[in-house]
Structure 1
Amino acid sequence: MLNNKQLRLFISLSTLFLCSLTASLHGVANPEKQQFPNTLTLQAHMTPPTATIADVSWMAGYWQGEKWGGQTEEIWSAPLAGSMMASFKFANNQQVKFYELLTLFEQDGSLVLRLKHFSADLTGWEEKDQFMEFKLVKLGDNEVFFEGYTYRLVSPDELHVFVVIDDKGTKTETKFVFKRKTN
């Protein structure tokens, strides 16, 4: 027969076990954690889903939009050698404020997005050998979710990009709307 102290300890340990089991099962059923409405985060114990560069070939093109009172453009190359590359530019009052160079490539059976920022004079924001990296979380029809970075083709000529921006510890989800530019 258990005394009251042993019974409380047993109940506490049983509750802890059930909570851990529930959390583990939840992680298996739902690999991504959602902090914002349009971006996801891969849980630490999960592996990125299988994907190839052909799965995101719909991103290729010349895209323009407006944000923060200025103009934006993002130009994605067609897939080549298991990768795509892009440049992003933000200009305001007819002056470039910053650039980004992006690569999207196949790695270990999945996709990885890398990004590097530059000032208007091409001074790097990140250190020389540093970059931001976003692992694939989920792939859908005409949408791809990287950690904190989502691309969604809403029509053949409109691309929405959602980015989680960290400003001194305060994270916000920012939406960019791009229209395809054709010559």
Structure 2
Amino acid sequence: MNTQDLAPVTGPLDTIHVRPSAEGDVGAIAAIYGHHVLHGTGSFETEPPGAEEMRRRRADILARGLPYLVAEDGDGAVLGYAYASAYRPRAAYRNTAENSVYVRHDVIGRGVGRLLLAELLTQCEALGVRQMVAVVGDSANVASVRLHEAFGFRLVGTLSSVGRKHGRWLDTVLLQRALGEGDRTDSAEGE
């Protein structure tokens, strides 16, 4: 499925519903991500992965017990998706997750990303995640940085010119937010 396969959204987005993703959403997820890979700098991938690869990636997230969500409109059209992944594979990082939020290009700025990120943070906190990290591709991606800041993320660093895409050097912006008790206690689950 490519972005031309996504039905246009013409009505108001006041009936957006965030829910766990389903196997049947993978085509729309791949189309949304593919558009961002080809036309944006939020992802440093240069070739869009197909539906089978996106299916594998989703299954890996779910197998770790982490949330993988979609936002849909009243007609059931997928408008965006978000998921949490392990920040790093080593055991000491087990209470830290990284978030990813992608919204259909034709509904950006209409609140879809806010709904997805809010629910993702709620679910991750309930799972015992203590720190959430956002790795934003391209320091010019102001919308993503502002979205995270609106949810209490703070800028913790910028890696300058670590990627090259669309003929230019790109930064990576790192933001972080504590969830639940964060680091205010001496122990964490699973320690």
Q: TM-score, normalised by structure 1?
A: 0.31
Relative to its length, the structure with more strand (as a share) is 1
Which structure has the larger Rg? Answer: 1
Relative to its length, the structure with more helix (as a share) is 2
